[in-house]
Amino acid sequence: MGRQWKRRSRAKRKEAFTSWLIMLPGLILMAFFVWEPLFESVRMSLYKTRNVELVRFIGLDNFISVTGKDDFLQALLNTFSYTFWSLLLGFALPVLLAMLIGETRRGKGFFRTAVYLPNMLPGLAVIILWSAFFSGEKSGVFNILLGQFGVPAQSYLTHADWVIPIIILIATWKGAGATALIYMAGMASISPELYEAAAIDGATVWQRIVHILLPAIKKLAGTLLILQIISVFQIMYEPMVLTKGGPDNASLSLMQLMWQYAFGGSMNYGKASAVAVIVTLILLVMTAVYSYFNRKESDWD
Amino acid sequence: MKTEQRTGVIRDYDMHSTSVKIGYGLILFLCVLMVILAVFPLLWVMLAGFKDLKEFVSSTSIFPQSFDPQSFATTWNQLGIAQNYLNSLLFVVGSVICALIFNGLLGYGLGILKPRGHKAVKRLILLSLLMPTTISIVPLFMNIQNLGLGNSFVPLWLSYGANAMYVILFVQFFESLPASIIEAGRIDGCSQLQTFFRIVLPLSKPICTVIAIFAVNAAWSDFLLPYLVLRGGSLQTVMVRLFVFSTEQTVNADTMMRSVVFSMIPPIILFFIFQKQLTENAVSVGIKG
């Protein structure tokens, strides 16, 4: 009895060992590409660096020097501004698109395909493409189109107040359709009988939307909200390519500031990491706040 | 499809009311408008590609004066884009292979084998979903430099083998497979690895297709890490080239637009071949974008 049990447990241990061995290559890659760099950026932010070398431990000096500069405060405010505009322009739109497509009785597949198309295009190419639309020249596409209605040529990208909404518009053009498909799937799981029953009880279309459809996607919307905030908080190459952060740092984002410290000529990886750590901390706080409220809500349910 | 028509807030019964009919007309109008907005910029860039520099910066017409494909051919040859296409192809193929093998095996371990302690790893991977990789691009680049892997596809390929989103998708799919089939394989004496290749993999075509499509698209569009690793070298991909053009402003506006067209053609072809898989599976994968 005892020996048999022992043999079985040895076989089991061997099996567990093999299982870990199978996962090992993937785990090593996750460690190298995801986990270790995260820790490393925290460590590097506390060091004075020269090129790829850590010269000496300097505590929080990188943070003090980075946050003490004017461009940091500007980038921080801009990043919140990006988030604000992204929620204003980009959050409800996919819900609306999903509702519209969901109601069509014919051509649903066609509409779905069409709105998803921009999401497949390379983000970099999309930004360059739209830069021609917002070009201040008279050959800029919006200047051509609006010129037909007598609107004088505008220099869109040199307006400090316009650049962030414009960048968010472009990002929304690219991403809204894909998000709409996620909402459509959520809406498709609502049983049509609910609508039928409500209709028989005399509920108008509008009442059905407010009392059946919207509550059904509330949880999904919460998840997508936090994902949207996380992703827009890291906006970087869009302003880098479209405006170089200008005019006068009006569209400079935190991640772009990080990139400038690291690869903008000065190769100050320590300071770049300090910015990255600050962004990470802000994201962690936001995620924690979100999950706190999310938990409370599910307690009520 | 029959079932498709039945979802939606507006029921057949409502269509008798005039106001609902008007509303439905408005919905159709907005949907068509949406399609135009989604497609117009693409059509425009293709048209703009036919313009030469003088026409591009001065013409106030959407349409080019002539549709001579020579302008595209000239840009293609002048910039030597063919080489970049070849580089991109190499990068994409290696990335997809890595994405499938490494994430797939990790997903197999976490979703089916489930050895003791796998839950902690799973939690760690879920957590890394929230911490996107751009944030740690600086130390990652330093590590790559320190290992002497600069100017090589190897670190870029392998970076696709470490994608938390793909791992989670594999885990979810594997967990949905009937346990009895896998159990049967084990009783027949297959080792864990044999079970993977003989039983699990043949059943996993749908998830592999989805992840392959997304990895192709992601790798094709990728340029930040590729730029850092490949800049200055001979292995630059199409997107790295485009990024260099856009930051250094070494090419004219018309050439730039043609390069944009070149960079969009493969994803658009991919899109039209796999549109069904893409729009139907966007639900799970689209979150990451």
Residue B71 has pLDDT above 80, yes or no: yes
Identify the closest residue of chain A to B13 by CA–CA distance.
Answer: A199
Residue A295 has pLDDT above 50, yes or no: yes
Residue B65 has pLDDT above 90, yes or no: no
H helix intervals, chain A = 2-30, 36-44, 61-67, 70-90, 92-103, 108-120, 123-133, 141-147, 163-188, 192-200, 205-208, 214-216, 218-233, 237-242, 254-263, 269-300
Q: Does A135 map to a domain?
A: yes
Domain identity same for A100 and A29 = no
Asked if A209 contacts B9 with a C-beta cutoff of 8 angstroms, the reply is: yes
**What would the pLDDT profile of B245-256 be if each residue is shown by its tens digit?**
988 877 888 889
How far apart (Å, rounded) are the C-alpha atoms in residues B92 and B223? Answer: 12
How far apart (Å, rounded) are the C-alpha atoms in residues B117 and B146? Answer: 32
HSE-CB at B155 with a 13 A cutoff on CA atoms is: 23
In words, the CATH class of domain B75-285 is mainly alpha
Give the model's pLDDT for residue A107.
84
**What would the pLDDT profile of B209-258 be if each residue is shown by its tens digit?**
889 998 999 999 999 999 999 988 899 999 999 999 988 877 888 889 99
Domain identity same for A139 and A207 = yes
CATH at A154 = 1.10.3720.10
Q: How far does A133 lie from chain B, in Å, by closest CA?
A: 8
Q: Does A57 map to a domain?
A: no
ipTM of this complex prediction, to 2 decimal places: 0.89
**Backbone φ, ψ for residue A56 (5° rounding):** -160, 160
How far apart (Å, rounded) are the C-alpha atoms in residues A222 and A239? Answer: 27
How far apart (Å, rounded) are the C-alpha atoms in residues B170 and B106? Answer: 8
**What would the pLDDT profile of A105-149 be if each residue is shown by its tens digit?**
888 889 989 999 999 999 999 999 999 899 887 778 888 888 888
Helix (H/G/I), strand (E/B), else coil: A139: coil
Domain identity same for A141 and A276 = yes
Domain identity same for A150 and A217 = yes
Give the model's pLDDT for residue B28.
92
Q: Does A151 map to a domain?
A: yes
Give the model's pLDDT for residue B284.
52
Q: Is B68 on the interface with A (CB under 8 A)?
A: no
**What would the pLDDT profile of A250-276 be if each residue is shown by its tens digit?**
999 999 999 999 988 888 999 999 999
Number of folded domains that form chain A = 2
Q: Does A241 map to a domain?
A: yes
Cβ within 8 Å of residue A271, ≥6 positions away:
A62, A65, A66, A261
Q: Does A36 map to a domain?
A: yes
- Rounded CA Rg of chain A: 25
Instruction: Parse chain B into domains and list their residue ranges.
Output: 2-71, 75-285
How far apart (Å, rounded) are the C-alpha atoms in residues B142 and A50? Answer: 12
Domain identity same for A76 and A29 = no
When the pLDDT of each residue in chain A is averaged and rounded to a whole number, the result is: 88
Q: Is B74 on the interface with A (CB under 8 A)?
A: no
Residue B116 has pLDDT above 80, yes or no: yes
Among B132, B162, B167, CA closest to A284: B132
How far apart (Å, rounded) are the C-alpha atoms in residues A106 and A254? Answer: 45
**What would the pLDDT profile of B82-101 be if each residue is shown by its tens digit?**
999 999 999 999 999 999 99
Of B9, B105, B286, the CB nearest to A195: B9
Asked if B240 contacts B231 with a C-beta cutoff of 8 angstroms, the reply is: yes
Asked if A37 contacts B136 with a C-beta cutoff of 8 angstroms, the reply is: yes
**What would the pLDDT profile of A13-33 be if each residue is shown by its tens digit?**
888 899 999 999 999 999 999
Indicate which of B279, B284, B287 best probes the interface with A, i.e. most A CBs within 10 Å of its own CB. B279
- CB atoms near residue B149 (< 10 Å): 15
Give the model's pLDDT for residue A77.
96
Give the model's pLDDT for residue B48.
87
Domain identity same for A14 and A137 = no
How far apart (Å, rounded) are the C-alpha atoms in residues A192 and A287? Answer: 34
How far apart (Å, rounded) are the C-alpha atoms in residues B157 and B218? Answer: 12
Q: Is B112 on the interface with A (CB under 8 A)?
A: no
Identify the closest residue of chain A to B145 by CA–CA distance.
Answer: A52
**What would the pLDDT profile of A101-112 be if each residue is shown by its tens digit?**
988 888 888 998
Inter-chain residue contact B283 with A185, CB threshold 8 Å: yes
- Percent of chain A's residues with pLDDT above 90: 49
Q: How far does A23 lie from chain B, in Å, by closest CA?
A: 5
How far apart (Å, rounded) are the C-alpha atoms in residues A56 and A46? Answer: 9
Of A35, A125, A179, the CB nearest to B264: A125
Domain identity same for A145 and A283 = yes
Domain identity same for A97 and A174 = yes
HSE-CB at B20 with a 13 A cutoff on CA atoms is: 14
Domain identity same for A27 and A120 = no
Average pLDDT over residues B15-38: 89
In chain A, which residues have their Cβ closer than 8 Å to the Cβ of B16?
none
Give the model's pLDDT for residue B210.
87
Q: Does A288 map to a domain?
A: yes
How far apart (Å, rounded) are the C-alpha atoms in residues A144 and A152? Answer: 10
How far apart (Å, rounded) are the C-alpha atoms in residues B101 and B211? Answer: 11
Residue A57 forms beta bridges with which residues?
Answer: A47
Q: Does A62 map to a domain?
A: no
Sign, CA torsion A142/A91/A290/B168: negative
The secondary structure element, H or E, covering residue B213 is helix B205-221
Cβ within 8 Å of residue B99, ≥6 positions away:
B160, B161, B163, B166, B211, B212, B215
Q: Which pLDDT band holds residue A4 (cuts at 50, 70, 90)?
A: low
Write down the pTM of the prediction.
0.89
Q: Does A59 map to a domain?
A: no
Domain identity same for A159 and A213 = yes
**Which residues 130-169 of chain B have a CB within 8 Å of chain A?**
130-143, 145-146, 158-159, 161-162, 164, 167
**What would the pLDDT profile of A164-207 be if each residue is shown by its tens digit?**
999 999 999 999 998 998 898 888 888 888 888 888 888 888 88
Domain identity same for A232 and A179 = yes
In chain A, which residues have their Cβ closer than 8 Å to the Cβ of B7?
102, 187-188, 190, 192
Q: Is B42 on the interface with A (CB under 8 A)?
A: yes
Domain identity same for A93 and A226 = yes
Instruction: Give the range of the structural domain holding residue A24, as residue numbers without chain letter.
Output: 2-41
